[in-house]
Amino acid sequence: MDKLAIELSKLPFIEDINALKKEVDSHRPIAKEVGDKVLQKLRLDWNYNSNAIEGNKLNYGETVAFLMHGITAKGKTLKDHLDIKGHNDAINFLLDIVKEKRDISESDIRSLHKMILVEEYDIDAITEDGQSTKKRIKLGIYKTSPNSVKTRTGEIHYYPSPEATPALMEELLDWYNECKQNIDVHPLILASLFHFKFVAIHPFDDGNGRLGRILMNLILMRHSYPPIVVKNEDKENYYGVLSQADSQQFIPLVEYMSNLLRHSLELYLRGIKGESIEEESDIIKEIELLKKSFDKKDIQRPSKSIEKVNVVFSNVIYPFFEIILNRTQTFDELFFTTKNEYLISFENDKDLKQIQNPKIDNIDMLVQSIKFPVESLKNLQSIECIKHYINFKEKNIKSVPKLSFSVRVNFTDSKYDIKLCDNYFKEDYWGVSYKDFYSNYYNEIPNINVLEELANKILRILLNKIKEAIEPKDLTKEDLDIF
């Protein structure tokens, strides 16, 4: 039996879910019109959001009009409409499985996949060596070629091979059938872990996210819980907790899903009590969707200003530098000496100003540290964090590595760009090379999960450099000299 599933079922927020479920159950039998109304809202939200997460262009109002009245949206593709219809058909099939009280089978999973994707199509893909290509998507058939994806940081995320997939899917169903019989495993934990394990396998060439969320809700509904909806506007956090689960940190994932389930249960309670089940976020969502529907080329981006620089510094640069320096401390004990530097530059000024106080967390402190008037920030060109590792402690390494890296944030007229140099040496400053690492507009601030992903990428680069240095058998003398 999966000890992890049992331990996660003991978390405090699971008791909150149990209490809410007990309160809903105390009102059974629930009036049919109430149950139908709440389920209809959840289904519409589910259909819209799950498809929107995967790039479907129909907005919420168009999704409702199409599913409720058969009205197609002008200017939207046939595939967008087919995806919505297929997803809705899959939910109907799911409800039949729940009604029949039968177990999930691989045959059901394949059938759901066929319903979701409706018809075969081609997608952009990446070969094993990182090259762009095209792939034909088959329905209800496990992947026949690698389906690796490029993450937002530019890295390739590798999923299990096509050869390993059938056995892994069989293992997943065996795990599910064993866990569902244990009363110590809570349905929410079972559903959340199943969802994670399924998307980690990524058994199909496309549609894994939508199908994974359908299977998660199938498990919940088989245990008399309402479905949960991952909101499109919250997909960054959703991807973030899945990424943490990849690193065996499962509590953020199940806590995230518990909040969604709590929302669905509270929706039922409001309906039972005769209260409105409409949400304030619904109208906000419609407004945001309307704004997103405009051609991005026609949107005027905010230009650099003291206020914008302040926001970026406080919400991106400072926390990002802190995450990087905290995480790279793990390498400190391998070297006799480490050194941090912070540099700042202004347009039309060739001199680099060193920041005296590395604990600067706002623009006012920054200005005070470099003794420049605040008005000069409109000419701010870059802020840079540099770390040096000097004198490797391993005495058996003949060529002692000297590692340095620099993370520089450049400020342009409309964007801020993060660049990375992984071979920075102060004595050869003007010869170092910076690579593009991340870029965004001043009005777009990444959440903490994105910053942590970027920091982990830097950690991986440094780890590889150290491993190369201590494994000279794979390197020439010329290679070692770069350190």
- In 3-state terms, what secondary structure has residue 204? coil
At position 401, the amino acid (one-letter code) is: P
Task: Say what the pLDDT of residue 472 is.
Answer: 45
pLDDT band at 271 (very low <50, low <70, confident <90, very high): very high
Nearest by Cα to 143 from 123, 164, 126: 164
pLDDT for position 60: 86
Indicate the range of 123-137, 146-160, 264-278, 395-409 predicted with least confidence. 395-409
Q: Is 399 exposed, middle or buried (0-12, 13-18, 19+ CB in 10 A)?
A: middle
Q: Is 320 exposed, middle or buried (0-12, 13-18, 19+ CB in 10 A)?
A: buried
Half-sphere exposure of 366 (CA within 13 A, CB side): 23
- β-pairing, 121-126 vs 435-441, is unpaired
pLDDT at 250: 96
Q: Longest C-alpha distance within the chain, in Å? A: 79
pTM for this model (two decimals): 0.60
Contact 334, 392 (CB under 8 A): yes
> Which is more confident, 325 or 187?
187
Mean pLDDT is lowest, of 92-101, 385-394, 398-407, 471-480, for 471-480
More confident residue, 28 or 391: 28
Residue pLDDT, tens place only, 416-426: 999 888 776 54
Sheet strands side by side (includes 380-392): 353-354, 335-346, 380-392, 403-411, 415-421, 435-441
| More confidently predicted of 359 and 256 | 256
Given the DSSP bridges, would you call strands 380-392 and 353-354 parallel, antiparallel or unpaired? unpaired
Quick one: pLDDT at residue 482? 29
If you average pLDDT over residues 28-41, what whole number do you get? 92
Among 381, 393, 286, 378, CA closest to 338:
393
Distance of CA 468 to the CA centre of its chain: 30
The percent of residues above 70 in pLDDT, for the chain, comes to: 81
What pLDDT sits at residue 430?
45
Smallest CA-to-CA distance from 383 within 398, 403, 369 is with: 369
Residues 6+ apart with CB under 8 A from 360: 318, 342, 366, 369
Domain spanning 3-298: which superfamily?
Fido-like domain (1.10.3290.10)
Looking at residues 428-445, what average pLDDT do you find? 74
Beta carbons of 97 and 108 less than 8 angstroms apart: yes
Reference 198, options 236, 234, 162, 171; nearest CA is 171
pLDDT, tens digit, for every residue of 125-162?
A: 766 666 777 888 999 999 988 887 766 666 777 899 99
Average pLDDT over residues 374-395: 79
Which of 8-12, 435-439, 458-462 reaches the highest mean pLDDT? 8-12
Q: Which residues make beta-bridge pairs with 133?
A: 125
Helix and strand numbers (H, E) in the chain are: 17, 10
Q: Which residue has the higher pLDDT, 373 or 188?
A: 188
Whole-angstrom distance, CA of residue 7 vs CA of residue 11: 7
Residue 91 has pLDDT above 50, yes or no: yes
Q: Which residue is listed with tokens 């899903």?
A: 257
Contact 395, 331 (CB under 8 A): no
Pairwise CA distance, residues 223 & 211, whole Å: 19
DSSP 235-273: HHHHHHHHHHHHTT--HHHHHHHHHHHHHHHHHHHHHHT
282 or 32, which is more confident:
32
More confident: 360 or 66: 66
Q: Among residues 283, 260, 281, 264, which one has the least CA distance to residue 272?
A: 264
Q: How confident is residue 479, by pLDDT bands cut at 50, 70 and 90?
A: very low
Q: Where are the domains of the chain?
A: 3-298, 306-480
In the chain, the percentage of residues whose pLDDT exceeds 90 is 45
More confident residue, 359 or 453: 453
Q: Comparing 141-155, 172-186, 331-345, 461-475, which segment has the lowest mean pLDDT? A: 461-475
* Cα separation, 266 vs 9, whole angstroms: 21
Residue 433: pLDDT band with limits 50, 70, 90: confident
Q: Residue 354 CB: number of other CB atoms within 10 A?
A: 12
Residue 176 has a pLDDT of 96
Q: Report residue 414's pLDDT band, with 50, 70 and 90 as the boundaries.
A: confident
Q: What are the residues facing 132 on neighbouring strands?
A: 126
- Is the predicted pLDDT of residue 216 greater than 50, yes or no? yes
